[in-house]
Amino acid sequence: MDVLVTGGAGFIGSHVVDRLLADGVGRVTVLDEFNDYYDPAIKRGNVAQFRGPVTVVEGDLRDRGLVDQVFDEGRFDVVIHLAGRAGVRPSILEPELYLDVNIKGTFHILEAARRAGVSKVVFASSSSVYGVNPKVPFAEDDALLATISPYAATKLAGEQLCSNYSHLHGVQTVCLRFFTVYGPRQRPDLAISKFCRAILEGRPIDKYGDGTTCRDYTYIDDIVEGVMGAVRYDGKPFDIFNLGGSQTVSLNDLIAACEEACGRPALIHQMPMQPGDVPRTSADVSKARQLLGFAPRTPVREGVRKFVEWWRQSGAGAAAS
């Protein structure tokens, strides 16, 4: 099986590539822009750790000619489309960039997959599509009536494009709604990474709101299992699955878990709630359990401890410990 992983140099993508290589797939191609959303050297470090038959292509999803060339040369069986601009708050500052990369880029991937006869596309969506959803936990068939950020809108649009290509062109598409993924190699802008690094380095952390907002945190190893389940899935031509940790944790409790793992108290810099932040995310993963064999196993305190252990073993972490 030959697989294309877009965004394969990033946090989730590099773990997915590692798993594909460990499982002995035929060939893996990574398409990544290595943009400056965060330090590109981090992604290059992720790529340097790959062990196995990997081809890395540096390029932009918006470059349709390049995307078509990658598909012409790759002859892929499966595409795992993880690439795109991430983050709710940055999308509010640069909405046009997010619309361009996440929607047009996804269109380019789907159109190239259609033209090349790819049998399956797995698309990375987000829990942010649920927006301000009064129903808890969130289920895949909930009405999505209140997305509150450009990022969420682009992910919902991506799901709709996947549905289009499945219905019109027979490309099987599986959309995975990720719920707050964390763990080793986590992007430095995400909460657990920011909090633990700041605590270990003796810097204050920004705490937005009163600490009662809640998130369903999902450890990276559990997410990778869900992605592999989607690759194996042989069900409907178009489907959507929640991938969450089935454990909704308040911001206050998350900070406490970070303090425990770091062995130090946090210095708090109190901030107001930010536009685009939702009060709660909570995943109903019963559908993924049944059809993908998804079974999240990592409690937040254990996952945060594993992240801190990894951080301390890395060069920067060792200096801060």
Query: Could you give the residue numbers annotated as active site?
Result: 151
Q: Give the span between the Cα atoms of 146 and 82, in whole angstroms.
A: 24
43 in Cβ contact with 17 (< 8 Å): no
Tell me the helix, strand and coil percentages in the chain, rounded to 5: 45, 20, 35
**CA pseudo-torsion sign 269, 273, 277, 283:** positive
Taking CA atoms, 263 is separated from 2, 29, 52, 192, in Å, by: 44, 40, 37, 15
Nearest to 108 by CA among 239, 232, 235, 4: 4
On the question of a cis peptide bond just before residue 265, with omega within 30 degrees of 0, the verdict is: no
Q: Give the span between the Cα atoms of 313 and 307, in whole angstroms.
A: 10
Where b means 16+ CB within 10 Å and e means fewer, 253-262 reads ebbbbbbebb
H or E stretch including 157? helix 150-169
Residues 177, 178, 179: CA angle, nearest 5 degrees: 120
Q: What does DSSP assign to residue 50?
A: -
48 in Cβ contact with 15 (< 8 Å): no
Q: Give the span between the Cα atoms of 200 and 308, in whole angstroms.
A: 9
Pairing of strands 172-178, 120-126: parallel
Q: Give the span between the Cα atoms of 59 and 28, in whole angstroms.
A: 16
In sequence order, what are the beta bridge partners of 124?
A: 176
